[in-house]
Structure 1
Amino acid sequence: MSARPTVSREEFDALFEAVRTWGRWDRADRGAWNRVTGDHVRRAVGLVRSGVVVPMALPWNTRSGPDNRKPALHHMTDLGDVEGPEPTTHKDFIAADYHGKGVTHLDALSHIAYAGLLYDGRPARENVDAAGARFGSVAALGPLVTRGVLLDLPAVLGVPWLEPGHAVRAGDVRAAEEALGVTIGEGDAVLLRSGHVRRRAELGAWDPATASAGFHVDAVPLLAERGVALLGGDGDSDVRPSPVAGVHSPVHALAVAAMGVPLLDNLDLEALAGATAEAGRYEFLLVVAPLNVPGGTGSPVNPVAVL
């Protein structure tokens, strides 16, 4: 297991101040996504060579388990047995409490507050209520299109997966860049593969809220320095147990509340790992289209990589 040094609350708060970008952009509700211009999108589209399309969403999970405490819903509402003219129809209903471990989703800037404040220093109680978010909603982000970079740590280390609790530190990010021949740049979406999905398939489910591979907080200043616009992984980006006393999801706090960086949680990166290894390159066009939910703190998504 990679070393996971503990971080005091005082040290964490100093780190939060060091990486925060409050007041930087006029469109504060878009946060770091302001970095992605038309030029970024055009360059990302230029990465498409083979036209291979790789979806990254987990299957809609309606079964309860240690990593799915609030299963998604799916049931039929019409089986074609309603009298009427042709054609008959079949209809269904889906719903999800998606901010968990069982549904692939995007975290908008209204999802995370630290010390009572959302991104840009907006008081959470004044901006999020039972009707939804008035600041930082997923509707403010819209479709996300940029260059994606896969950090495939198991491939770099020659292991099938990282064990739960394995902390990915700043040095590991730099080593992965060198080994994979890719450099994280401004406006990029960085996706961390820990091998979570493969481990679950081979060994069974566990509770990732208590034990998961992910970024240590000391990797965040490097990502901030590079100017990332989106962060995600096959976990939820945080290593657990948390290295920060009293903060369960410190990378969430730093990325969303300090840096204004939306998060992609619970991706399936196994097919992308295979496709990037076959192509011999770990950069690609990334497309994420969240649902247009005014006031929503996020959305279920099916991100797509195009190589």
Structure 2
Amino acid sequence: MRRWLHRPEGSNWGDFGEDDQIGRMNLVTPEHRLAAIREAVEGIAIPLGLPLDYPRQRVFAGRNPPVLSPTQSADGRTMYGWKPTGGPIDVVNDDQVLLGLQFSTQWDGLSHYGTCFDADGDGVAEQVFYNGYRMDRDFVLPDAATSPAALALGIEKLAETCVQGRGVLVDLRSAGDNVTGMVGYDALMHAIEAQGVDVGEGDFLCIYTGYADLLLRDGAQVDQSALGACPGLDGTDQSLLTWIGSSGIAAICADNSMVEKIAGVDRCAGVPMMPLHEHCLVRLGVHLGEFWHFARLASALAERQRSSFLLTAPPLNLPGAVGSPVTPVGTI
């Protein structure tokens, strides 16, 4: 049974095949990847992720920091400073973690965000995700005995692509006007032009706002007003959304909490709460990375008068998850 008869305006549903589950990652071809590898001319690798226990001050209620605990042996002993019985000289440490998948540096999977849209033309809006996958058919809802699972669009689909390609960095901290506000098409294009950034099909657009710098510097004492002053993309700007659609970029990765900046939660009927999420994740299959850390990379690129680099950022290959921590690496 075909999942949809109508697709949202401006979407690319079906363009990569009726059963596609990776969206614009299809544009990261072997040729694009080889071109990206050629960006690594010095072999300097720079980490682009926060420690997984950051932010120290909760940004989203319900998203919790990781909790480490020791593994228990089969006979109930704690396997930390553990010595096997019988006199061997070995000492073993073994641990496990309760990990919030979207607490720190992360990828949003295409199963993370959906919308209500009448995809089958029956006059009733369904809860749909990228390429018409549906909440009532393609997800397992949690209950007391069942764990949640995305049967389609799970983060493992992104992991299978290996997520390696050409990253391009735009520094919104030095973008002139709107550096503390919602950055729409005009301000983003001004920054791209002023910084000589060449953004093309299959690229990973990386947005540096300084948000993660504050999280890392100030920890639990971070000033919320200072965080709020950091810029973010304006998902209400239709020109910006149109450019994302026409640019062919594979993903957007930002050092802030949501990529986009919202003045408040709009709960009006028929209006998406997070319009850039809806446009990217649902309509286009453009993955979003959040809470990345670009300070060292930005400095290194600026010293070399460059903006592009080799990006390697596979998520956890965790079937059924809707998001994942990531330890991205930029190589110049």
- With the shorter chain as reference, the TM-score category is 0.7 to 0.9
Residue 240 of structure 1 deviates from its aligned partner by 2.1
Higher helix share: 1
CA distance in 2: counterparts of 1:197 and 1:114, whole angstroms:
29
2:276 equivalent among 237, 251, 254:
251
Report the 3-state secondary structure (helix = DSSP H, G, I; strand = E; otherwise coil) of the residue aligned with 2:35.
Answer: helix
**Which ranges in structure 2 are unaligned for 5 or more consecutive residues?**
1-6, 72-78, 117-126, 143-147
Aligned equivalent of 1:233? 254
Conserved? CA contact 1:67–1:208, under 8 Å: no
Cα separation, 1, equivalents of 2:312 and 2:15: 25
**Equivalent residue letter for 1:145:** Q
C-alpha contact 2:139 2:150 (8 A) present in aligned 1: yes
Partner Cα separation in structure 1 for residue 227 and residue 109 of structure 2:
20
User: Which of 43, 61, 64 is the equivalent residue of 2:35?
Assistant: 43
Counterparts of 2:150 and 2:227, CA distance in 1: 25
Please give the root-mean-square deviation of Cα atoms over the aligned residues, in Å: 2.6
Contact residue 167 and residue 214 of structure 1 kept, 8 A: yes
CA shift, 1:205, in A, is 4.5
- Once the 2 structures are TM-superposed, how far is the Cα of residue 68 of structure 1 from its aligned partner? 5.6
For residue 299 of structure 1, what is the aligned residue in structure 2?
324
Q: Which has the larger Rg? A: 2
Which one of 69, 72, 93 corresponds to residue 66 of structure 2? 72
Structure 1: runs of 5 or more not aligned? 1-15
Against the structure 1 CA distance between its residues 40 and 62, is the aligned structure 2 distance closer, same or farther, given a 3 Å change threshold?
Answer: closer
Answer yes or no: is 1:153 the counterpart of 2:172.
yes
Give the corresponding residue for 1:275.
300
Note closer, same or farther for the CA distance 1:253–1:242 as it changes in structure 2 (3 Å cut). Answer: farther
| TM-score between both structures, scaled by the size of structure 2 | 0.79
1:19 is aligned to: 10
Question: Is this contact kept in 2: 1:195–1:234, CA < 8 A?
Answer: yes
Separation (CA, whole Å) in 2 of partners of 1:132 and 1:112: 14
Q: Deviations over 1:92-126 (max 9, x none)?
A: 22222233xx4111111111111111001222221
Partner of 1:179: 194
Equivalence for 1:92: 95
2:314 pairs, out of 289, 297, 300, with: 289
Distance 2:290 2:173 in 1: 18
Distance 1:208 1:24 in 2: 42
- Once structures 1 and 2 are overlaid, which stretch shifts more, 181-190 or 239-248? 239-248
Q: Which moved more, 1:148-157 or 1:61-70?
A: 61-70
Contact 1:242 1:249 in 2 (8 A): no
> Paired residues, what number?
286
Query: How high is the sequence identity, in percent, across the aligned residues?
Result: 26
| Structure 1 residues 158 and 56: alpha-carbon distance in aligned structure 2, compared to 1, 3 A threshold | farther
**SS in structure 2 at match of 1:286:** strand
Once the two structures are superposed, what CA deviation does each residue of 1:133-160 show, in whole Å capped at 9, x if it has no partner?
A: 111111112210111011111133399x
Amino acid at match of 1:123: R
Aligned match for 2:48, one of 56, 62, 86: 56
Equivalent pair of 1:198/1:270 in contact (CA under 8 Å): yes
Q: Residue 241 and residue 63 in structure 1: after superposition, are their counterparts in 2 closer, same or farther (change >3 A)?
A: closer
Question: Does the alignment pair 1:117 with 2:128?
Answer: yes
Q: Structure 2 vs 1, CA of residues 215 and 243 (structure 1 numbering), >3 Å: closer, same or farther?
A: farther
The 2-side partners of 1:110 and 1:79 are apart by 37
Question: TM-score under structure 1 normalisation?
Answer: 0.85
* Residue type at the aligned position of 1:213: P
